[in-house]
Amino acid sequence: MLPEFALWWVAQMRSLAPGLLAPSGRKADALIIALNDATDHPTGTLLLRREGQESYLRPLDLTHPFTPPFTPSAPHLPTALRLPHGAVLCRDVVLPLAAARDLTAVLGFEMERLTPFAADELYWSVSGLNFDRARGKLSLTLSIVPRAQADALRTALARAGIIPTFIETETGRIDLAPPSRQPGQHLRTGLSVLCGALALACLATPFLRQQMALNAAADAIAAATPEAGKAQALRQQLTAAAQGRAAIAQARHAGDALQVLSLLTAALPDGTWLSDLTLKSGDLTFDGQSGNAAQLINLLSAVPGLRAPSFTAPVTRTADGKADLFSMHVTVAE
């Protein structure tokens, strides 16, 4: 509610006078260019307003160059352009109450609907703001002047060194020049930019630090890559050696077939031969025939590296009765 009241109060103050109010409440001092109704040959009158009283200075003919007779203090006064009757167009406008939050933007957007012109083709102002909270409406008076018409007059006046800054209307004023910057506005703008830069730096710092850490890690990895390659090659060599040792140990656990065969050859008596021999994971099985199979148990038990000899099947005689047929199992020691 307070912002709306402030907006209404400022608009009312601006609509009451074309400039600042004098202490007495009368219109502020100004140099006034009052134009006549004629349009083919623009003419007018140069007036000086002092303490609410307007005094005649001289006539003006904008079709010919002229030099206005200024009083010593007149050039320091604001210059107002008072257009002929009907040159300033006024229209009553009703808008939703929410438009008061950004009235300038809303009117600029709606200007083509409200008038035959676009917003950038006009000089315009607002006066007579009235807030109807019960109906949720905002009523106002919109005053407009075609920019082309006003700029043509300003160009003609500029040749004589007169530059009007606003158009004086019955309900207020229409500014022609952008308002001057308030003292300290450059400083506030600079501080705002600085604050924005600091905020951006605060937001970007964590990402920059993370990127720097990632870059440092990438450099460390790149520097360690050759050494890592050497370590990987050495690891592969060690793995291959370990696999070789494991294969050798496994072979030793299974037993050396040639060595086992040599032991059997030395231990078995003459007249004994083998028909089948299998060596797997330290288990030796073999079949054969011998003149006396029973003595094989004692003979094999005395051989180093062979343990627990036993028959895996009953001993039988051959068909001619001259030899024993046997099947044996022996554990080969590691």
Residue appearing with tokens 């924005």: 196
Handedness of CA 249, 253, 257, 263 (dihedral sign): positive
Give the whole-angstrom CA distance, residue 223 versus residue 314: 74
What pLDDT was estimated at residue 181? 44
Residue 21 scores a pLDDT above 60: no
166-168 and 79-82 beta bridge pairing: parallel
pLDDT value, residue 94: 92
In whole angstroms, give the CA distance from residue 199 to residue 237.
56
Angle at 9 between CA 6 and CA 14, to 5 degrees: 125
Reported as a single tens digit per residue, the pLDDT across 160-217 is 777 888 998 888 889 886 544 444 555 667 777 888 888 888 888 888 888 888 888 8
- Check residue 296 and give its pLDDT: 83
Helix, strand, or coil (residue 29)? coil
Q: Note whether 51 and 24 are within 8 A (CB).
A: yes
CA distance 71 to 29: 13
Separation of alpha carbons 312 and 154, rounded Å: 130
% the chain with pLDDT above 90: 4
CATH class name, domain 2-178:
alpha beta
Structural domain boundaries of the chain? 2-178, 257-332
The answer to whether 293 touches 267, Cβ cutoff 8 Å, is no
DSSP strands (E only) in the chain: 30-35, 43-50, 53-61, 79-82, 89-96, 122-132, 137-146, 166-168, 173-175, 273-280, 283-290, 306-311, 316-317, 324-332
Q: Are 324 and 317 in contact (CB under 8 A)?
A: yes
Pick among 3.30.70.2830, 3.40.50.1370, 3.30.70.100, 3.30.2270.10: CATH of 257-332: 3.30.70.2830
pLDDT value at position 261?
78
Give the whole-angstrom CA distance, residue 263 versus residue 258: 9
Q: How far apart are CA 334 and CA 30, in angstroms?
A: 123
| Interval 78-86 mean pLDDT | 85
Residue (of 50, 46, 122, 115) closest to 82 by Cα position: 46
309 in Cβ contact with 264 (< 8 Å)? no
CA distance 196 to 201: 9
DSSP string, 140-194: EEEEEEEHHHHHHHHHHHHTTT----EEE-SS-EEE-SPPPPPTTHHHHHHHHHH
Say if residue 332's pLDDT is above 80: yes
For residue 143, CA distances in Å to 8, 47, 132 come to 17, 23, 21
Could you check whether 2-178 and 257-332 share the same CATH topology? no
pTM for this entry: 0.43
Give the distance, in angstroms, between the CA of residue 148 and the centroid of all CA atoms in the same chain: 44
pLDDT at 179: 42
